[in-house]
Structure 1
C-alpha cells in the first residue's frame, strides 16, 4: 500500500471508519494548539517527514486557539479510536490529563511536545526556563546597570511554558524568581506591568497599550513569543515610544528573526519544533515495534539570537537564526 499521511481537521474529525491503514504500519497522532502558528506548522511538517521516512501513518488535529482543551480532548479520543498507539500533543492545559490517563490505561503512549503536563509518558521540548534565562541575561547586559521598568506580556494564567519563560527571564535578569517547576509567575518591584497576551499579536498590542497607560516609561518588555513581541512594538511605535525600549522574546520563527534583524525585537531564544516532532514520531514507531514506551525529558535545544553581540553573553547572529528558523523564509 502506498504510504500516505492522513490529516485531520477538528472541524471534520472523520477518522477510523473512512480510512484503511495497512496492516502492521504504526498509527501516530499529532495534536497541536493551533494550525496557524508557524511554530506548529513546522512541527507538523517535521512529523509528516519523519512518518514518511519511517513508514508510519500520521493523524493530525489542532485546537482553534491556544487554550482550546476541549478540541484537544476530542482529538485524543478520536485518534485512539482510529488506532493510534502513540499520540504527540502540545497541551493547551491540564484539562486533558484525565483523558490522557484513560488512554494510557488502554496502552496508548502519550508524549508531550513543547508543553509539559503531569502524567505524560515523555517530553520532547525546549528548556523553556533556560530560554527565559538567556533573554534575561541579554536584557540585563543591554541595560548596563540602568534602572529597569519592565513589562511582561505573558501567555495566560497557569500554563507551565508561560511560567517557565517568565520566571527564567527574571532569573537571567537577576531578579528573584521561582524555579522551573512553578506555574506561578514571579514578580518584582522592577516589573511595572504584567498582562496576558495569549501569544497573539493583536492581544499583545492591546496588552502593551494598557501597560503604557499604567507606566509610560517602560524600557524593557519581556514577551512570551514573537507575535506578542510584534504587537508590543506596534503599541510602542503608535505611542512614539519604540526607541530605547528593549524587547525580548522566545520562538525563533523566520518572521521573528527578521524582526530581530530589523531591530523590532532586541533578542530572542530560538527553539526547534521540527526536531521535537521528529523525535516524537520516532519514539512512536519504536513503541509500535518493540513495545517499550519512552520516558523522561529530552532537551531539543535553544539558542540566543541577537542582531548585536554583547560581551559576556553567548549569542548567535541573525544570519544563523535565519538559517535555522521555521516558518516562511
Structure 2
C-alpha cells in the first residue's frame, strides 16, 4: 500500500471517468475511516473478496486516522476520477462528507454507507450497518443486569464526536442501563476516537478524580482494552462491570480472558458482501438499494444474565472477524 494525499490506496483500476448503472461492469470503491483498525481491515478484505467473486473491479482508500474527514473527501474525489460506479463508505463524520457524496451521486455514482450512517440518512442511496442504537442498548441492558440491582457508578468511554455510530451507541447504552445524559450516576466521560492508547490515557485521567465506580461503557473493543489497562493499574478490575461493542476475535478473546464482561458482536463481512452485491446489481440493471439495512448484533459473554439474550465466547470465536 502507498500513502498519498491523506488516503491509503490498496488497488486501483484503469478506465475513463464517468459512472452510471445499467449494462456495465461494476467498479466498486471502498472508503473506510482508517486502514489499520482490524474492523476496517475485515471490511476491506470482505469487500475485496466479494468483488472478486462477482467479477467486479475493486479499489480501497482510507483516511489516515479516525476523524480524517478531509482524507475521506479526497478519497471520494479520487474514486470518481477513476470511474467508480459505486462508492461504499464508512464516514468518519456523519456530516463532513455530504458535499462530496452529493457530487458523486449527481455524477451517477451509487453511494452506500457501510457501518456508519450519514446524517441525514438520505444523503446516501442506502445504508448497510449494525443498528448501533440497539447494539448500545444491548450493552447497557447487560451491564445493568450484571450489576445485580446496585446503582451504577459509571464511566463512559466514547468514540469520535459527530459520528452517528458514537451517538447511537452512547444513547442506546444509556437507554439500556436506564440513565439519561447528565445523570449523577455518570461519574465521568472521555472521548477516545476509537483508539486504545487514547482510551487508556483518558480513563487514567478520570481515575485521578474518582475510583468509586462499578461500571464502564466502551464504544469499541480497542477502547475496552485501553480502559482495562487503566483499571488494572489501579487494581479496580474486580469491582467494575465493563461492556463493549465490535465482536472482533481479539475482543471475544478479551471477554473469555475476563478483561470485560461482555461485548456486542457486529458483522462487517455481511455489510461488505451486501454492499458489493448491490453495486454489482446496479452496474448490471441500474437498480438501487434503498433505506437502512440492519446486519444484526449479538451479545457475547460467558456470564449470561436473565433477560439478556446472548451467546458464549465459544460461539463468538466461531463467528468473529479478524485474526483468531
TM-score w.r.t. length of structure 2 = 0.92
The correspondence for 1:220, drawn from 196, 212, 215, is 215
Aligned ranges 1:306-321 → 2 under 5 Å? 306-321=301-316
Q: Which residue of 2 aligns with 1:111?
A: 112
**Mind listing any 5+ residue stretches in structure 1 that lack a counterpart?**
1-6, 177-185
* Equivalent-residue separation in structure 2 for 1:187 and 1:155 (angstroms): 18
CA shift, 1:242, in A, is 1.5
Partner of 1:34: 34
Aligned CA distance change for structure 1 residues 14 and 237 (closer, same or farther; 3 Å): closer
Q: Is residue 143 of structure 1 aligned with residue 147 of structure 2? A: yes
Say which SS state the counterpart of residue 151 (structure 1) adopts: strand
Cα deviation 1:51-70 (Å, max 9, x = unaligned) = 01110000101111100111
User: Counterpart of 1:179?
Assistant: none
5 Å-filtered alignment, 1:151-170, equals 151-170=155-174
Q: Structure 2 stretches of 5 or more lacking a match?
A: 17-22
CA distance in 1, matches of 2:277, 2:8: 27
How far is 1:84 from its partner?
0.4
Match of 1:172 among 168, 171, 176: 176
Q: CA deviation at 1:85?
A: 1.1
CA distance in 2 between counterparts of 1:12 and 1:296 reads 29
Q: 1:175 to 1:316 in 2, by over 3 A?
A: same
Q: Which runs of 4+ in 1 moved over 2 A?
A: 7-16, 18-21
Question: What whole-Å deviation, never above 9, does each CA across 1:200-250 have from its counterpart, x for those lacking one?
Answer: 110010111111112211110100100101000100111121112111100
Aligned mates of 2:322, 2:106 — CA distance in 1: 37
Instruction: Check if 1:98 corresponds to 2:93.
Output: no
Secondary structure (helix, strand or coil) at the match of 1:59 reads strand
Cα separation, 2, equivalents of 1:15 and 1:142: 46
Q: Give distance in 2, aligned partners of 1:133 and 1:170.
A: 7
Coordinate RMSD, CA, aligned: 1.8
In 2: Cα distance, 1:111 partner to 1:35 partner: 19
User: What is the number of residues matched between the two proteins?
Assistant: 312
Cα deviations by residue, 1:23-53 (Å, 9 ceiling, x for unpaired): 9421010011111111111111110111011
